[in-house]
A and B are shown apart, each in its own frame.
Chain A
Amino acid sequence: MWSFFHKLGSPPWLYRIAGSILSWLLPLTLVALAAGAVWGLLYTAPDFRQGNSYRIIYIHVPAAVVALAGYYVMAIAGGISLIWKMKMADVAMKSCAPVGAALTFIALVTGSIWGKPTWGTWWVWDARITSMLILLFLYLGVIALYEAYDNKDAAGKACAVLSLVGTVNIPIIYKSVDWWYSLHQPASIKFTGESSIDPSMLYPLLLMIGSFYALFTCALLMNMRLEILRREARTGWVRKLVGA
């Protein structure tokens, strides 16, 4: 257990293991994404109230769910790099931010497109949309803060603190529809009890959520590999790897 944890701190080992995970996870992700998209967009029944426009749920919900989960990954990596001074945790934290920002952006844009035909507006300052916008700014803030420092150790510390402070936003986004009156409806997928979305629509949605988690993992590992190469550019193993 501990030897695995220590190996994670070794850049060449992490680079190699990330590569071997990607070699099977990436094709699997693409297949699952394609299957989920075709199933959800073409083979499920239209909704009894919203007709076909509800189908954007198969992009909107997975992107939003993984954007929230990704923030925890970033904050936990930041915490590990603060406490144990693990360089590879810092790499993971830095690599999470652009992926999370992209997913949050997708969730906001698809939500806006969904809002126009159903609610009748592109944008409304309801609690969930506003807190989701704050999440986007947190992700962008981590990216910007990292670039603002010349000293990358200080940058990593500042970003880790920012991402840890930002974790308070995640339960707020999740519970916003229950705590306040908002235009969003309460959750349809319930962990306890019966979900209020028909099983024929739920299964492709769960497949898409799973695929988005896998997609996040792939994008994170690819980003991390790139960042490792950048940081280790002058070491022997990277020189050997690129054949210089």
Chain B
Amino acid sequence: MHPVRKQRLIIVLCVVVFSSAAIGLMAYALRGNINLFFPPVEVAAGKAPVGQPIRVGGMVVDGSVQRSDNSLHIRFEVTDYQASVPVVYEGILPDLFDEGQGAVAAGVLDENGVLQATEVLAKHDENYMPPEVAEALEASKAMDAAKAKGAGE
């Protein structure tokens, strides 16, 4: 390669490497702020600020959803399977909100550790499948569970 072009190639590579390193370091320094939400375990450890708007995300605990009979008031818990945070919310929930599914709640944490949510978003996972496949999976899971139970007895 011609020496002049070689020099330009080195300059171009340096531009790419150093700018990547600079932005990578910035992203590393700001990593806490880039996260969209706190996982419940960090809230439980007291890492989330009280009295300031934050988001908490995790799975909605099975059986924890309590709806009010005469209003849109709802109470549920989100968990990351290490800790869980109770959330109260008044409003319309997204269609995909359900027990055992992901959710992200935005609001303010009060002194009792309850998130007073002003917005609840549903988070879906990366699995896509037709309903029949989902049913078949459920059925085979139930069968495996029954088999495991039978083998245990």
Contacts and interface: CB of A to CB of B under 8 A. Distances in A.
Interface string B1-41: 00001001100100110011001100100010011111100
22 contacts: A45-B130, A47-B130, A50-B96, A117-B94, A118-B122, A118-B124, A125-B36, A127-B35, A127-B36, A164-B12, A164-B19, A165-B16, A172-B23, A183-B104, A185-B126, A186-B126, A196-B128, A197-B126, A198-B128, A200-B130, A201-B129, A201-B130
Nearest to A120: B94
Interface in A183-207: 183, 185-188, 196-198, 200-201
Q: Which 5 A-B pairs have the closest CB atoms?
A: A120-B94, A45-B130, A48-B134, A198-B129, A168-B20
B36 A181 contact: yes
A181 B35 contact: yes
Given A49-B124, A126-B36, A119 B131 contact: no
Contacts of B129: 47-48, 197-198, 201
A164 B121 CA distance: 36
A199 to B, nearest CB: 9
B40 to A, nearest CB: 11
Nearest to A82: B12
Contacts of A44: 130
Given A48-B133, A181-B36, A187-B126, 19 more contacts: A48-B131, A50-B128, A118-B94, A119-B96, A120-B119, A120-B121, A121-B121, A126-B36, A127-B36, A168-B20, A179-B31, A179-B34, A181-B35, A181-B37, A181-B39, A188-B126, A188-B128, A196-B126, A198-B133
B126 to A, nearest CB: 4
Interface in B75-117: 93-97, 101, 104
B132 interface: yes
A185 B96 contact: no
A4 to B, nearest CB: 18
A32 B134 CA distance: 30
Interface in A179-238: 179-183, 185-188, 196-198, 200-201
Interface string B116-153: 00011111111111111111000000000000000000
A167 B17 CA distance: 10
A57 B124 CA distance: 14
A186 B126 CA distance: 6
A157 to B, nearest CB: 11
B49 to A, nearest CB: 16
Contacts of A118: 94-96, 122, 124
Interface in A84-136: 84, 117-121, 124-127
B94 A180 contact: no
